[in-house]
Amino acid sequence: AIKCVNYSSDLNLICTGSWDCSIKLWDPRTNSCTGTFNQPDKVYSMSVAGDKLVVGTAGRKVWVWDLRHMNNVQQKRESSLKYQTRCIVELVCWYSQNSLKESFSGLDATLKFPYKDLVLVVACFDFTPDKPENNMLSLKSGDILAIVDRQECTLGWLKAMKRTRIGYIP
C-alpha cells in the first residue's frame, strides 16, 4: 500500500513511498513507473526539496536520495527518536514555527533555519581551510551541506551547515 506521495516540480516526477519497502518514481506525462528503489524498511514519510528526496522508514532510518541519480543513497542516518521518521515534514515545519520546549523541557527555541528555506548542495571537490579558526568548513568531495544564508554571500563564500557545524564554504 502506498503511504506517501510527493511531486518534484523541478524534475517533473511523482514519488511514491510504500509499506512494501520501496520508493517508486513516476513520469506524470506517460503515467509510467520509471524506477523502483528498495528501502531498509516500510516507508513512513518522505519530502522533496529541490532535487533531493528525504525518506523516513520504520526502522528509524532517514535516507537522502538525489532524484537525478537514484543509483546511490546520498546520506544514511538513524534517528534516536522512536517515532520521528513517521512525520519528517510535519516535525520540521512545526518546530520552525513553534518552540521546542513543548516537547523538550528546558529547550526554549525554534528551529533557526526553516526547512523550506534550506538548499542542499553537494561538494564537488575537497577543501581544507588554511586556518581552522576562520569559520570555514572543510569539505570532502560528496559531502552534503545545507546553504543557510544566501544573503550573506561575500566574495564567493556562502554560509552553510555541515552536520551540526555552521561556517563558510567556497
For the segment 100-140, what is each residue's pLDDT rounded down to a tens digit?
555 555 555 554 544 445 566 777 788 888 776 668 888 88
Per-residue pLDDT for 147 more than 50? yes
Give the residue-averaged pLDDT of 128-156. 74
- The answer to whether the pTM exceeds 0.85 is no
Rounded to 5°, angle at Cα 97 from 79 and 88? 25
Pull the grid cell for residue 150. Answer: 544566501
The answer to whether the beta carbons of residues 143 and 135 sit under 8 Å apart is no
**DSSP result, 53-80:** EEEEETTSEEEEEETT-TTSEEEEEE-S
CA atoms of 129 and 8, how far apart (whole Å): 35
Per-residue pLDDT tens over the stretch 13-53:
889 999 899 999 998 888 889 999 999 889 888 888 778 88
CA atoms of 72 and 77, how far apart (whole Å): 14
116, 120, 100: which is closest to 163 by C-alpha? 120
The answer to whether the beta carbons of residues 50 and 10 sit under 8 Å apart is yes
Q: Which stretches of the chain are DSSP H helices?
A: 88-97
55, 57, 75: which is closest to 120 by C-alpha? 75
Per-residue pLDDT for 65 more than 80? yes
89, 135, 92: which is closest to 114 by C-alpha? 92
Give the per-residue pLDDT at 44: 85
- Does 154 or 36 have the greater pLDDT score? 36
